Amino acid sequence: MTGRPSASVATRLKEVYENLPLPAPTVAALAMDLLLNRLRPMPLPGSSSLHRMAGAGLVLAGVGLNPWALAERRRRSAGPFALEEPEELVTSGPYAISRHPMYVGWWLIQLGAGTLAGSSWVLATLPAELLVEHRYILGEEATLAELFGQSYAEYAERVPRYLDYRRAQAARLPGLVVVAALAF
């Protein structure tokens, strides 16, 4: 077999990853959670059934939020969808309650996965991840401000960067998303 077919597979995988809303720091933090829990377990207090219930709820909230946000973005794309090249400022759906719902979704998934595993390590890795990703987010916001000018400034004034408990409650979001909003 020549190098050409594998190059096309590699190219295709790269294209898929570039449109996948999975930030590299999230992948690194999830891997660190697993590794640290394996090497030096630090159990969360409480029963494992409570961990499973709370963790599953958080994972489901994040898993629900990410596709909803992605679908809303795709719905607003006229041509081929490119996540990093927005054609229009999306302010509806989950973007009406958070300027960055996909990041929030991944954070909920990570918090839920750590809770499901009953590991306290997520309480250390998640804040570190948030700090790293916050820098990326500020850069994304600067780009959006450049692209969309005054309409982005008005949107940023109206919608919180991450989540706001009062807005989530007013939007009648599922209880777990409202609870998760308290953390942000």
pLDDT for 26-81, tens place per residue? 989 999 999 999 999 999 999 999 999 999 999 999 999 988 998 898 888 777 77
3 state SS for the chain: CCHHHHHHHHHHHHHHHHCCCCCHHHHHHHHHHHHHHHHCCCECCCCHHHHHHHHHHHHHHHHHHHHHHHHHHHHCCCCCCCCCCCCCCCCCHHHHCCCCHHHHHHHHHHHHHHHHCCECCHHHHHHHHHHHHHHHHHHHHHHHHHHHHHHHHHHHHHCCCCCCHHHHHHCCCCHHHHHHHHHC
- Predicted confidence band at 13 (pLDDT cuts at 50, 70, 90)? low
Average pLDDT over residues 142-165: 92
Q: What is the mean pLDDT of residues 164-180?
A: 54
